[in-house]
Each structure stands twice: as C-alpha cells, then as structure tokens.
Chains A and B, each alone.
Chain A
Amino acid sequence: MKIGIADYGLGNLLSIQSAFEKIGVSTVLTCKFSILKNVDGVVLPGVGAFSEAMKSIRKTKLDLTLHKLVLDQKKPLLGICLGMQILAEYGHENYKCLGLGLIPGEVIKMPFKINRKVPHVGWSDVKIFESGKALFQRSQRNDSYYFDHSYIVKTNKINQAATVSSDNEIVAAVSHKNIFGVQFHPEKSQIPGLRILKSFCMHCDNQ
C-alpha cells in the first residue's frame, strides 16, 4: 500500500507525511506522472489562496497528471483543505479563476451572518450524509475536526458528504465517485483525523 502526496510547492506536506506514518502507510512526495501512476491513492494537499495554488499546479502540469490518474485510471483522490476547494470548477479567491473541475460547484467567500466569525477556525463536529459513508467509515460519534478556512465550497446536495453540524452552509467533505475532499485538516485533528486517513486507505485497498 502506497499513497502519493501531490507536491506542487504549496502546502504543509511534512505533517501529512507524518500522519500517514502514524497509521503505518508509506508515502511518496512527487508531482511526476511516472511515479504517481504506481500508487494506490493520491492525496492533494494545499495551504494558501485558490488562485496561487492553481498557478503552481499549472506550472508543474499537475492538472493534466491528476486528470489522467483520476478520470482515466480511476485512482482514489483525497483533497485536503484548499486541495478540496480546487477540485471545484471555479474559485473566487482574489479573482475568479478556473479550478480542476473534478467536482461540480464553485468556491465562494463565506457569506456574512450574525454570530459567524470569519474565517471559520477551530474544532467542529460534522453531520455525515449517505455519500460520506466511505470516508467516515471508521469515525465515531463525537469526533470533531480542525477547520481553518474563509472560503466555502458550494456544490449540489448529492456530492456533499458531510456538513458542519452547527452551520449547514459549510460543506465539510465532498465525494463524487472516486474523488473525495475534506475541508478540515485530518492531519491536524489528532486521532479522529487519523481515522479519516485510515478510511481513505481502506477505500484505496478495496479498489
């Protein structure tokens, strides 16, 4: 079992690597198709702004690589935080720009609401839907995860795998065929987070 972590120069790769180490899964850091075609699943991390991330992705030709891996070879993909947001078709951070288009929907600024602090930062419980069964298969009741974002993914109901329990406008996880994404940081959410990564690995194993 080997997980490929897409490295395009952005994101906190070290902690994702050490999280997989904790559940006994070996990882490889790369953006090359020749290496990624041999792994069991791909993780797309991301820290930063939507537009900056897409810029670096295009520079490293990771967009073409991911399309080949995910759409042609049907490899499971897990986007983390910004990595989930760039799966969408459009983003509006800094300026409107194209995403990877792997999941229908767009990324918008969190609308203003009374009692809502922007950015959404902290530990939140999530409400899991039917399509989130695979990703949350090992999760237990009361598991909460660490969120830190000011933009949210807007997608149709079928692709929502989970939402934040106290604010159902915030999509916590998305799922579409072999493509998954989580808005929170599983690598920064202690044991509940590791359960998500383990579920993803189990899903990759079953493929």
Chain B
Amino acid sequence: MNAPRIVGTIIVRGGLHVQSLGFKQYFPLGCPVESAKEFDRWGIDEIALILLDKNFKLNLKTISEVSSAVSVPVAAVGGVRSILDAKAYVSGGADKIGFNYSLFKNPQMVHEATKFFGQQCIIASIDIVHYKSKLQHWNYWENKFSQYNITSLIDKIKQVNVGEILLNFPEKDGSGTGMDLVAIKKIVKITQIPVIALGGVGSVKHIVNCFKSANPSAIGIGNRLSHFEHSVYLFKKGLKDIGAPVRTGVNPCYDDSMIDHDGRPINKSEKELEELNFQRIEPQMP
C-alpha cells in the first residue's frame, strides 16, 4: 500500500496565491512560486495548482515557474478546454492536468487526452454539495445543481477513463471545520480510481479522522498549510502518531517534539536545548 499523500493546494487568481472561502471570497496570500517552494522544502508529497485565472497566458507562466522551482509532482487544474491547452500545460511543466468543465461539455476531448497523455496524467475535478440530504454534483460554471447524483457521476467519470478524481466541497471550502467524511467515504467505496479529497481541513485531527474512516489516496490541504511554518511536517507527525504510513526519508521531522492543542510544537526545555548545542546534524545530500 502506498503511504497516503498530502497534497498542497495552491489556488491562483490573478497571478496571486489566494485563500478561498466557499469559492466566493478570496484573500491574497502572496506569490504562488514562493508558497510552492516552501511546501517543497517542508516535505509535501504533491502540489496542486488550481488556476482560477481567465487569462490563459498568465496561467502558463505560473505553472512553469512553480514546476521548475520544486521537485515534487505538480498538478494543474483549471482553464483546459482543448487538447492544445493540455499540451501547453504539459510542456510548461505540469505532470497532471485536471478537467472540470470539459468533462461535461466535451467528454470526447478528455477521453482523447487520456489516450494521448496516458490515463495517469488526467484528473477529473468535481464539486460535490449536499442537497436535500443527498449528495449532488455542483455545476460551477452555471452556479446550479447538475442532473448527476454520485452514482451517475462516477459512472460518467469511469467512461472517460481518468486516472484520479479530485473531490472538492464548495460548502467546506476554507471553513476549516473538518472534511466531508460521509461523501468521501461513499465515493472511495464505489470506485477503484484513486481519490484526492479537498476542502475543510483545519487541524491535524481532521486529516487523521479522514484517513481513518474514509481512506482516500490523498488529502488536499489549502489554506491551513500557509498559516504557519513547517506545517507539512506537523501534519505528517499527526499521521505518524496514529500509525498511518507516511512517506519516509524526509528531514527534519518533529518525532521527538510535543505538540500543543493548536498543532504547533512546544518549546523544548532549557536542558535539552543546551545539549543540542553540541550535536552535529548532517544535511541531506543527493
């Protein structure tokens, strides 16, 4: 079994990394390349760029800058409407491409893309909302519910033969109140395709719960990673503590630190710090 992945989600709007609240409000955070570099250094497993730009040229620049700055896979989601767009993304440095709009408007094209780039390169990005105690697909470009429920939606995605599913929950987006475990569990159960769940992570507890009960292949974290230093290490420590397999060989780690209720490491005692003074820590060499 693969270790569950932590995917750092960077939402880009107008060339800026933004914090998104419910897909409605956006607050600027800074340069997407700098955020990606930090995530990479802190041991992230994958980076997903969600591009909300309408200006196509701007997107391409962000992708190539991020991709050459980091040494983890980069998935680019948003703004791909044709095979030519997809080719531009891939040669710009994206390892995977996410489709949302085209999945419903032009499934034939997405199917062709899976044939051209291989199944593993294509992600289906879908938005799910609760509606009358049922799960329904959310049509973001028309701002309404579509006719698909979960089962018919997954069937449609299987037909297109995509490699991964990126689940997004507009109601949970940016709330930090925990993930939509019911929906994630349901979807993971009915499909063999790896699932990336996104939206609602506010603390280490949320991802631990999600992996325990729903077990998706990956969890995407957006806002919360940008709130404090070394956030990726601390999330991984949480997973390690419950005995979940996490990617090894990443340094430094917080294995011997205590974590407070906010999820941050507690200061070591004076005595321990004193001893650290005389320890040599070898840097990791390629």
Contact = CB atoms under 8 A, between A and B. Distances in A.
Nearest to A189: B71
A23 B46 CA distance: 21
Nearest to A187: B71
B121 interface: yes
B3 A121 contact: no
Contacts of A15: 67-68, 71, 93, 95
Contact of A148 (B115, B120, B192, B284): B120
B93 A144 contact: no
Interface in A162-207: 166, 185, 187-195, 197-198
B116 interface: yes
Which secondary structure dominates chain A's binding surface? mixed
B176 interface: no
Contacts of B116: 48-49, 52
B247 A12 contact: no
Contact of B1 (A47, A144, A166, A190): A166
B248 A142 contact: yes
A47 B5 contact: no
B73 A148 contact: yes
Contacts of A138: 286
Interface stretch (A32-40, A60-68, A112-120, A129-137): A112-120
Contact of B71 (A123, A124, A148, A190): A190
A121 B194 contact: yes
Q: How many A residues are at the interface, by size bracket?
A: 35 or more
Contacts of B71: 15, 19, 22, 187-191, 193-194
B286 A121 contact: no
B118 A143 contact: no
Contacts of B43: 190
B118 A49 contact: yes
Interface in B110-157: 115-121
Contact of A14 (B67, B119, B250, B286): B67
B249 A22 contact: no
A176 to B, nearest CB: 24
B90 interface: yes
Interface string B1-33: 111110000000000000000000000000000
Contact of A191 (B2, B120, B284): B284
Contacts of A192: 249
Given A14-B68, A146-B72, A150-B163, A49 B115 contact: yes
Nearest to B69: A18
Contacts of A151: 118
Given A190-B72, A192-B249, A123 B2 contact: yes
Q: Which of B43, B67, B72 has the most CB of A within 10 A?
A: B72
B50 interface: no
Interface of B: 1-5, 40, 43, 45-46, 64, 67-68, 71-73, 90-96, 115-121, 163-164, 192-194, 217-218, 247-250, 284-286
Given A146-B45, A150-B120, 17 more contacts: A14-B64, A14-B68, A15-B68, A15-B71, A48-B118, A48-B121, A120-B2, A121-B2, A123-B2, A142-B248, A142-B249, A149-B118, A150-B118, A188-B73, A190-B43, A192-B249, A193-B71
